[in-house]
Amino acid sequence: MIKRFKNGSYDIAYFTQGKGRDILFLHGFPSNMYMWDEISGVLSHQNYRTTVIEQRGYPLSSSNKMRPTDFTIDKLCEDVETLIKNLDLSNKLTIVGHDWGTVVAWAIVKRNKVHVEKLLSICGGTLFPSSKVYNSLNYVDGDHYITSFQSPENAVILMNENVRNTILGSYRTKNKELNVSLSIQSLFNDMNHDEYALTSTQIDRITTHYQANGFYGPISWYANLDENIEISKTWIHNEVSQEITFMFGQKDMAVLLNKKMSDRLTNEADLVNIKEISGAGHWLPYTHKESVLNEIYSLNKDY
């Protein structure tokens, strides 16, 4: 049963089940709390208490008056930290994040306002770089989609025009062309894809999920990249003693693991593991559930 708690003008949706060691799941873009259903369901029957949250701005946790400033990294963290405190998720808590959820999870660990034992970061990392990095990435048909997302009011017009096509573009796993443009036009309004990480039923479900409120809230997360860097200066140099596993798909078009990234992540904490799943793309919680479960078991093997 979905429950809610209030944080400012947002009613944040969450669901918890099972008993035992705590696992908290944070989704990314453009997903929702249901992406963890199968994984959390398995764990809830194996001496784990699993909790999933629909993060602020997403359909089940939206507000009537949303502004980009509602989605700075400190506010995103506060939602999750409040839930951790409200539910007393203190039994050897592991946070599992995907995509944007990894950025929130990493900030929570760095802020150290709640106790987290371990972190599994899937297809993500730490803070996004500044908007200037994306401004320099241009394609024949437009700017990088993250550059477009700096103006959510404009970007959402295209995203909401055909919600289903936006979802199809987001969850593609195989493209007809090898060199894919990362413009908003190509990613979210082009049928240059023919295989998906989701089944037809899952595509229908997530399309319906976004149909009413659209993508304005989730897009607005990206509008604060530079502000987030400033906010993070208060905690960015805090030491991380937790065991961290960064997990990537070898063929992830959105977050490609290279040597530079690997070296940087290795230096982020004392206990860092980096895993790359051969042949996998960006949507490991859907396409490689057993691999995700095995990493969760591995992080918890010493308990």
Q: Which long-range contacts (CB under 8 A, 24 or more apart) does 36-42 make?
A: 36/96, 36/285, 38/289, 39/285, 39/289, 39/292, 39/293, 39/296, 41/17, 42/293
- Domains identified in the chain and CATH numbers: 3-129+232-299 (3.40.50.1820), 132-221 (no CATH)
Between 47 and 253, where is the model more confident?
Answer: 47
Question: d(Cα 263, Cα 197) in Å, to the nearest integer?
Answer: 29
Judged against a pLDDT cut of 70, whether residue 33 lies above it is answered with yes
Task: Please give the pLDDT value at position 82.
Answer: 98
Q: Using CB atoms within 10 A of its CB, is residue 63 exposed (0-12), middle (13-18) or buried (19+)? A: middle
Per-residue model confidence as pLDDT tens digits over 241-295: 999 999 999 988 788 899 999 999 999 989 999 999 999 999 999 999 999 999 9
Per-residue model confidence as pLDDT tens digits over 105-160: 999 999 999 999 999 999 999 999 999 999 999 898 899 999 999 999 999 999 99
Task: Please give the pLDDT value at position 44.
Answer: 94
SS3 93: coil
Mean pLDDT of 40-52: 96
Per-residue model confidence as pLDDT tens digits over 214-233: 999 999 999 999 999 999 99
Q: Hey, what are 278's tokens?
A: 């051969």
Per-residue model confidence as pLDDT tens digits over 157-183: 999 999 999 999 999 886 555 567 889
Neighbours of 29 (CB within 10 A): 19
Task: Please give the pLDDT value at position 272.
Answer: 95
Judged against a pLDDT cut of 80, whether residue 102 lies above it is answered with yes
Judged against a pLDDT cut of 70, whether residue 95 lies above it is answered with yes
Question: d(Cα 259, Cα 269) in Å, to the nearest integer?
Answer: 17
